[in-house]
Amino acid sequence: MDQIVFLTEILFPALIGGTVITLELIAVTAPIGLLLGIAIAVGRTYGSWTIVEICKGYVIFFKGCPLLLLLFILYFGFPTIGITFTAFTAAVIGFICCNSAYNSEYIRGAMLSVQQGQLIAAKALGMTKRQAIINIVLPQALRRAIPGISNEFIYLIKYSSLAYVITVIELTGSAKQVATKYFMYTETFIIVALFYLAIVTVATIGINAIEKRVAIPGFVQK
Amino acid sequence: METTEYILKVKDIHKSYGNVEVLKGVSFNVKKGETKCFIGPSGTGKSTLLRCINQLTVPDQGQIWLHDEEVTHAGPRINYFRQRIGMVFQNFYLFDHLTAVRNVEIALIKVLRMNPKEAREKAMYELNQVGMADWADHYPAELSGGQAQRVSIARALAMDPDVILFDEPTSALDPELTREVIEVMRNLASLGMTMLVVTHEMGFACSAANEILFMENGRVIEQGSPSDLLNNPQFERCKAFIGQYHGFHE
């Protein structure tokens, strides 16, 4: 078969379909993973003893559990106790657990680096702890956590390919189908790699733009 | 018993950190419009005392009243008292992610629930008071130490507090920047702001204070008007301490 025809008629349409699923996985996971990561980081830094221990346990468990294994448990294990997820939902739940655990650690580190005195100054103005965390600590911590969160976001783009193992036909899955059917492994997988590279590049440019936009004037030396 | 005369009463404050007793029973009363300066060697509990007044540090024993309401043991109501008691820190502690004017208005909006337009007007008024109106849109990292401290004074003033606590406001500044901050404080004192100032600036203490309290080892060991204390200190330690400054300024 003609190479050009294979690319334009078969591979690209399949990969575009897969890319849409990959982007959907990321689009659902990333915002929830970030919000949950913030909540866990705040809980672990400022919560009561019980909340601190729960957050610690969450982070230790999901940092320690291999993501692929987690997906197997969610997709193949949970139905045996009566809880059934679609493959897509199982993948998203697994990704959110992993993503939020790592994000929370980046954010926690950034929160601890915010000058303690500013929290004291906020209290001295009559702010409650909650007001001080929301208005003073988090706006600064989230800015400082951008490099870490960005790292985790780029990992997410790539580990989203694990969803293929639990039957989600995302980018890697759609490529595998085409490659097997037409016996075009090398060409297909190289092109898929370029697709991931393109997604990662766009994400990196976007994150850099955000980081620049929210940078505090005078704060970071050029 | 005459109680209404004083706006702030501090009674028998004790505070220990582990085995070290930092404050060993400090009492004093403050009248409206008064400026009191706390002087004495480092590590004698002056800053801890200020922090006990707005409960940033909780004293082990003793009471504090603001307008006959007890500040100690206030529970969640402590946030109300902190609105009424301003504080200025040695290291400014401006909010790094906010411009000067946002630093001043944020508590007005979030704590006092003032509407943003009113809060902005109030914040600009206070920045103008400390000569920082032209710097309203600058971030803390773009300000000199003296400018940052003036903004932090404006931030405290904006809440219209009953009293402002100054915790070594010029100790992180060089002499020139110290002068501009002292100028602002002197002005406040003359406008009738009630101020408690922990300072090593004897010039300010002598000229602006109604009363100087000399502290050592967690106690106020001598107190009086600047002229009494400077010209006729009763205690040897106070004499020696003040003598250093006399010598220094010659």
Residues of A in contact with B152 (CB under 8 A): 121
pLDDT tens, residue by residue, A170-212: 999 999 999 999 898 998 999 999 999 999 999 999 999 999 9
Residue B249 scores a pLDDT above 80: no
**What gap in Å lies between CA B208 and CA B213, rounded to an integer?**
13
Q: Going by DSSP bridges, is the β-strand pair B61-66/B211-216 parallel, antiparallel, or unpaired? A: unpaired
Model pLDDT, residue B209: 93
At residue A220, the pLDDT reads 59
Residues B128 and B120: their CA atoms lie apart, in Å, by: 12
pLDDT tens-digit series, residues B147-171: 999 999 999 999 999 999 999 999 9
Instruction: Mutation target for B interface from A125, A214, A220: give the one with most B CBs within 10 A.
Output: A125
Is B93 in contact with A219 (Cβ distance < 8 A)?
Answer: no
Cα–Cα distance for residue pair B87/B162, rounded to 1 Å: 11
State which amino acid sits at residue B141: A
The residue with greater pLDDT, B3 or B30, is: B30
The 3-class SS string of chain A reads CCHHHHHHHHHHHHHHHHHHHHHHHHHHHHHHHHHHHHHHHHHHHHCCHHHHHHHHHHHHHHHHCCHHHHHHHHHHHHHHHCCCCCHHHHHHHHHHHHHHHHHHHHHHHHHHHCCHHHHHHHHHCCCCHHHHHHHHHHHHHHHHHHHHHHHHHHHHHHHHHHHHHHCCCCHHHHHHHHHHHHCCHHHHHHHHHHHHHHHHHHHHHHHHHHHHHHCCCCCCCC
Is there a contact between A48 and A40 (Cβ–Cβ < 8 Å)? no
Report pLDDT for B247: 52
Min CA distance, A150 vs chain B (Å)?
A: 20
pLDDT digits (tens, 9 = 90+) for A94-144: 999 999 999 999 999 999 999 999 999 999 999 999 999 999 999 999 999
Q: A117 and B86 in contact by Cβ < 8 A?
A: no
Task: Give the model confidence (pLDDT) of B47-93 as tens digits.
Answer: 999 999 999 999 999 999 999 899 999 988 999 999 999 999 999 99
pLDDT score for A4: 84
The single residue listed with the structure tokens 């110290």 is B178
> How much of chain A, in percent, has pLDDT values that exceed 70?
98
Which chain B residues are closer than 8 Å to A125 by Cβ? Answer: 82-83, 107, 111, 155-156, 159
Tens digit of each residue's pLDDT (9 = 90 or more) over A45-91 = 999 999 999 999 999 999 999 999 999 999 999 999 999 999 999 99
Q: Is A127 on the interface with B (CB under 8 A)?
A: yes
Domains of chain A by start residue, with CATH? 3-214 (1.10.3720.10)
CA atoms within 13 A on the CB side of B96: 22
pLDDT per residue over B213-224, tens digit each? 999 999 999 999
Return the number of other C-beta atoms located less than 10 Å from residue A151's C-beta. 14
CB distance B79 to B49 below 8 Å: no
Structure tokens at A146: 């951008």
